[in-house]
Amino acid sequence: GKYRVVSTKPMPGTRWIDLLVQQDCRVEICTQKKTILSVEDIIALIGDKCDGVIGQLTEDWGETLFSALSRAGGRAFSNMAVGYNNVDVNAANKYGVAVGNTPGVLTETTAELAASLSLSAARRIVEADEFMRAGLYDGWLPHLFVGNLLRGQTVGVIGAGRIGSAYARMMVEGFKMNLIYYDLYQATRLEKFVTAYGQFLKASGEQPVTWKRAASMDEVLREADVISLHPILDKTTYHLVNKERLSMMKKEAILINCSRGPVIDEVALVAHLKENPMFRVGLDVFEVTKQNSPFTFPSSFIIQLSIHFFQDEPYMKPGLAEMKNAIVVPHIASASKWTREGMATLAALNVLGKIKGYPVWHDPNKVEPFLNENSLPPA
Ligand code: GLV
Ligand code: GLV
């Protein structure tokens, strides 16, 4: 191979390797046992000559790594993730490295996990499972694990992009929920879908479903029974759900997060779960990082223009693991075989595109911001 491409982790499937190898690339896959590679580990992998790297969302792709990659002659980096909060895109631009991410292939898989968590929370599946395994089941009882009926309730979506819209559609179509959503951009196709489905239900003699585009995030939090968070993580969405916003929500609401941990103030969440035993939460992502633990921001955080912060979340805030009204899973929203192979393939195509002089397949520079300055969370 003429070009040297490094993958910081083994990735599912072989198509991504074949694609690279067929196009003059030699692929090197790091098989180090360590779950999360440090900046130093990755510098060693890059070495003296490296044309492109496929990296993971657990890695801190900032100034140091992009300058090392650029010194090694590298011009391409792809995150194997749709999120790129671990990537300093400005630093990449500065060192002439193109950046790619992997949207699209994980939309339905991620939305399905958000839907799974919604149902599991509504019907208290995890608690009930623990109860069975503990040998506590002693016969049917009218009050045993009574949960929420979703039919006719309202699903709230914050961030109605690809994943948020797919989730909304599943909940509306599958469980005949009404929809309220908040996004800077109008989710036209989603609105049309809910309208058409509402007409269909009406024609079948059933109670129709409705939709509403909320004027503010707070409106969604106040009105919805099940709320799922689907924004990107940046300075405008850090602690989007804080103490004040938790208190706006219905006492029996369900909150789902399959986006990024720091979107929720996890300490405030634990306190809220303790005070409101009927409030339930389903979390795929957590706030505290391994390398940055305890997680802190510089005080100038909010005013920084180019923001880059690295997130991985192997820890839960104290108290969360003990809460019966919380369901917690280890960042598995995109974990279907088809999707993970697709993500690996897209990441390879991103790197290959740049090496071969094509446009990068997916360029996060072109991603629109989720919120504007006016929608920053209350201080
Ligand atoms: C997973 O969290 C991703 O951003 O792809
Ligand atoms: C419950 O099992 C019922 O039959 O109502």
The predicted pLDDT at position 359 comes to 60
The predicted pLDDT at position 307 comes to 37
pLDDT band per the 50, 70, 90 thresholds, residue 368: very low
Assess if residue 132 is contained within a domain.
yes
Q: Same domain for 66 and 135?
A: no
The predicted pLDDT at position 299 comes to 38
Sequential DSSP letters for 195-255: HHHHHHHHHTTSPPP-EEE-SSHHHHHHH-SEEEE-PPPSTTTTTSB-HHHHHHS-TT-EE
Annotated catalytic residue within 75, 169, 239, 260: 260
Contact 207, 182 (CB under 8 A): no
What is the whole-number distance in angstroms between the Cα of residue 198 and the centre of ligand 1?
32
Assess if residue 371 is contained within a domain.
no
Assess if residue 377 is contained within a domain.
no
pLDDT tens, 231-252? 988 888 999 999 999 999 999 9
Q: Could you tell me whether strands 226-229 and 211-213 are parallel, antiparallel, or unpaired per DSSP bridges?
A: unpaired
Would you call 283 helix, strand, or coil by DSSP? strand
Tell me which ligand sits closest to the C-alpha of residue 144.
Answer: 2
Assess if residue 33 is contained within a domain.
yes
Look at the chain and report how many structural domains it folds into.
2
Q: Same domain for 14 and 159?
A: no
Q: How far apart are CA 379 and CA 377, in angstroms?
A: 6
Annotated catalytic residue within 59, 223, 266, 313: 313
State pTM to two decimals. Answer: 0.89
What is the whole-number distance in angstroms between the Cα of residue 119 and the centre of ligand 1?
22
Q: Same domain for 165 and 267?
A: yes
Q: Is the pLDDT of residue 350 over 50?
A: yes
Residue type, 363: D
The predicted pLDDT at position 290 comes to 53
Residue type, 156: G
Q: Same domain for 127 and 100?
A: no
Q: Same domain for 154 and 206?
A: yes
Cβ atoms within 10 Å of 95's Cβ, excluding its own? 18
pLDDT tens, 181-220? 999 999 999 999 999 999 999 999 999 999 999 999 999 9
Q: Same domain for 36 and 160?
A: no
Q: Same domain for 293 and 196?
A: yes
pLDDT band per the 50, 70, 90 thresholds, residue 20: very high
In order of 70, 169, 179, 189, 360, the CA distances from 196 in angstroms are 51, 12, 13, 11, 37
Annotation says 362 is catalytic: no
Phi–psi pair at 176, nearest 5 degrees: 55, 45
Q: Is the dihedral of CA 258, 275, 314, 147 positive or negative?
A: negative
Q: Same domain for 20 and 80?
A: yes
Closest residue (by CA) to atom 1 of ligand 1? 81
Q: Same domain for 123 and 16?
A: no
Closest residue (by CA) to atom 3 of ligand 1? 81
Annotation says 260 is catalytic: yes
Assess if residue 239 is contained within a domain.
yes
By residue range, what is the domain housing residue 58? 3-105+336-366
Mean pLDDT of the chain: 89
